[in-house]
Structure 1
């Protein structure tokens, strides 16, 4: 008996991890904790791929946590996520339920599995002024100079790169001595999708989401008073669509650049997950093409 305290379902974007996690949670009478860095934001639905319909399985609503917990435009961070995760995790465990953590934000997931010691890093105005005007490539090189890198899977804007550098600079000058949360013994399941299949699904999904009104979603958020730079900060869909709405990119330029960026993002996600394995976490990979019933049986055999 492994005495697992959690089941973690992870995988790159478009791998089908959410749908499977919901069906697994239904079968195990469980609840899902999101491990996605952008689904925490209200009204950012299509662009973050919340797919809330997936959370209804055979007419039953699967309870979920850490989705729609803060307003669009806010700067939610890993420190807040770790605390919010443990609040939800403790609540679920106290009801004798084995929680399911599901997502694609590698750093968020690893932070709770390994019990990262984190602090709420304050804004460093002098450092931000020093970094202002540098290109994303220059900022990425600076970020890479730190021995213990902050999340690099979704650093696709200068703002996010500057924030990552700010965090690393703070950690360098403020060493942490002990963890606030212990590591969690989790069964980790990775949904492995073949590269070309993943690329095809990403392209098909992007087209569908644009047809579903993703541009209108972004425009609605801007109309509510969220500053364009705050949406651009979130990267990917919100970066490129905002630039399109502002007239800085044509529709075709937006579509093409966004599609490339999502493909690159999925590749970085997989690099992170492979890094987790090198850092000592065991991930049991299951083919995305495997029927969900077979995936569920495989998970049960590992519990």
Structure 2
């Protein structure tokens, strides 16, 4: 990795305004955008993941969107590999790479130099778990990880047994969760990174999230999820996403439509809260308050001033 390579990263909770800002930044600094969202990689999952539309892109190239089928799994390791490759490709064109998204662990894996190879393996423990999972099942083993390391469990699908076992192995061998172990490593940024975080007064953010869910419903979320449901896509990573699992419960007849939508709103609000907690605890972020949505030009100016100072770049369109 080139520590002199400029990289702009825009993070924040769902519905805070990352897409709008990222387009503006890409236009100003001749940038291309890399999605930092673990679910926008899936084809056919557009409405529920609030995927950027062609019109919203305003001609700005976007990467790592629609690269997987919903039945396929996608890991942090694969994301890390693909994004680092894209950063190099964009930089070689003389453009500014801009990562935009809300999946903290994925973004963290790209911009920091974390090494897990120095945690030794415990072959006997691993084999014990491999044998036990055949008896108790993937979900039960994943539940064990939730109990000792809920943060890692939230980002590892129950069917990714290898990663579940490795996370349990790290806890057993180090006495620390994966994230606690990371913090002891004092990792360094791999790029010259401007890390921009967007935040908003909680009540306003929650209102925006509720409104976004209602808009998703109006735009045809039910039909989108039905398309996946009718393919009998069920026990896979993509369907665990907020916006899909709630509608599946409705299609299964387990809840009413009203209950499904309410649950979707509630889960989205809770996710936003978890996102903010993650970013504040895990990354050295420069935060910008976006509550005053009517003063967007002023916020653009503030953020641009920070980016230009941090990356030593100049606006090329203003």
**Which TM-score bucket, shorter chain as reference?**
0.7 to 0.9
Which residue of structure 2 aligns with residue 15 of structure 1?
Answer: 16
**Cα distance in 1 for residues equivalent to 2:219 and 2:141:** 34
Say whether the 8 Å CA contact 1:73–1:231 is kept in structure 2.
yes
SS in 2 for 1:73: coil
User: Which has the larger Rg?
Assistant: 2
Say whether the 8 Å CA contact 2:48–2:216 is kept in structure 1.
yes
**Cα distance in 2 for residues equivalent to 1:56 and 1:236:** 24
Q: With structure 1 as the length reference, what TM-score do the two structures score?
A: 0.81
Which residue of structure 2 aligns with residue 91 of structure 1?
Answer: 89
Give the Å deviation of 1:193: 1.2
Which residue of structure 2 aligns with residue 291 of structure 1?
Answer: 296
**Cα distance in 2 for residues equivalent to 1:285 and 1:182:** 18
Count of aligned pairs between the two proteins: 282
Which deviates more, 125-134 or 235-244? 125-134
Q: With structure 2 as the length reference, what TM-score do the two structures score?
A: 0.77
**Cα distance in 2 for residues equivalent to 1:164 and 1:265:** 22
Give the Å deviation of 1:216: 0.4
1:236 to 242, 246, 252: 242
Say whether the 8 Å CA contact 1:236–1:262 is kept in structure 2.
yes
Give the Å deviation of 1:159: 3.2
Which residue of structure 1 aligns with residue 148 of structure 2?
Answer: 142
Which residue of structure 2 aligns with residue 166 of structure 1?
Answer: 165
Which residue of structure 1 aligns with residue 197 of structure 2?
Answer: 190
Question: Aligned runs of 1:71-150 on 2, under 5 Å?
Answer: 71-117=69-115, 126=131, 128-129=133-134, 130=136, 132=138, 134=140, 139-144=145-150, 150=152
Give the Å deviation of 1:228: 2.1
Root-mean-square deviation (CA, aligned residues, Å) is 3.3
SS in 2 for 1:159: coil
Which residue of structure 2 aligns with residue 26 of structure 1?
Answer: 27
**Deviations 1:141-174 (CA, angstroms, capped at 9, x unpaired):** 1334xxxx5264x67xx83797763340355689
Unmatched runs of 5 consecutive residues or more in structure 1: none
Judging changes above 3 Å, is the alpha-carbon distance between structure 1 residues 247 and 161 closer, same or farther for their aligned structure 2 residues? farther
Give the Å deviation of 1:194: 1.1
